[in-house]
Amino acid sequence: MEHPLYHVLLEGRRVGPYDRRTIVGMRIRKTLTSADRVVADNGRKFTVADLVRMGPLDGSFEASRSGSYSVVQAVHSAALVEAQGAAIPAFKGEIEVRLQTKVLRIAGRYRSGLRWKEDRVKIPLPELAHARLRGSAVELALRPGGEGPLKRLTLELFTPEAAGEFVAALPPLAPWPEAAPKSLAAPAGAHPMVWGAVVGTAVIVGSVLVWVLTHRI
């Protein structure tokens, strides 16, 4: 099956042609934005975001597909930004993120020596602890198998709308744990020495102000 080709419209000029994978790669590298426009061979114009949302037309991810498609809740094109502590291959370029009834399935390509290989990873949904949006990116926190810190996974969904749809389709998760705000005041129940230092500083400052005012009269 032939890959359709597209021209990119930049500053009134037609650049290309490129296949879909090349254009998505340019979007991942931020050479193009989601709002940039492309034109197909038939003259149809749409945005890079529309092209990404259409998904691969060559079925490149379908070779590793298993089970009935009826269990799929949502499918998104994405890119792997970061995986901390998670056993996920170093996927490059476009990946497919498929939310199923019991797992989050991530499929893509990665380099192994001089060759490209395809693989997929299935993350059980109960392992998802938190999710939050960062513009067009989604950060996921995964529960570790045993003791230890949460694992982190960051996916680029290319548009804030797609990222929001992906998070909305996830099962209910706990709010993202934020760092406690720092306070200048001594915390409740603080050691008496802390309060003594605060009071002592206030007394010294007050004494200095009184001395300055009395010697200026």
Average pLDDT (146-169) is 86
% of the chain residues with pLDDT over 90:
14
Angstrom distance (rounded) from CA 155 to CA 94: 11
Angstrom distance (rounded) from CA 81 to CA 92: 9
Per-residue pLDDT at 180: 45
Is the pLDDT higher at 217 or at 165?
165
The pLDDT tens digits of the residues spanning 92-139 come to 988 889 988 899 999 998 888 888 888 899 999 999 999 999 899 999
Per-residue pLDDT at 201: 54
Is 166 a residue whose pLDDT tops 50?
yes
Looking up tokens 């989604």, which residue turns up?
138
Look up residue 177 and give its two tokens. Answer: 């744990």
Mean of per-residue pLDDT scores for the chain: 76
- pTM for the model: 0.65
Is 158 a residue whose pLDDT tops 60?
yes
**pLDDT grade for 188, boundaries at 50, 70 and 90:** very low
The pLDDT tens digits of the residues spanning 19-47 come to 888 888 888 887 888 888 888 888 888 88
CA 203 to chain centre: 51
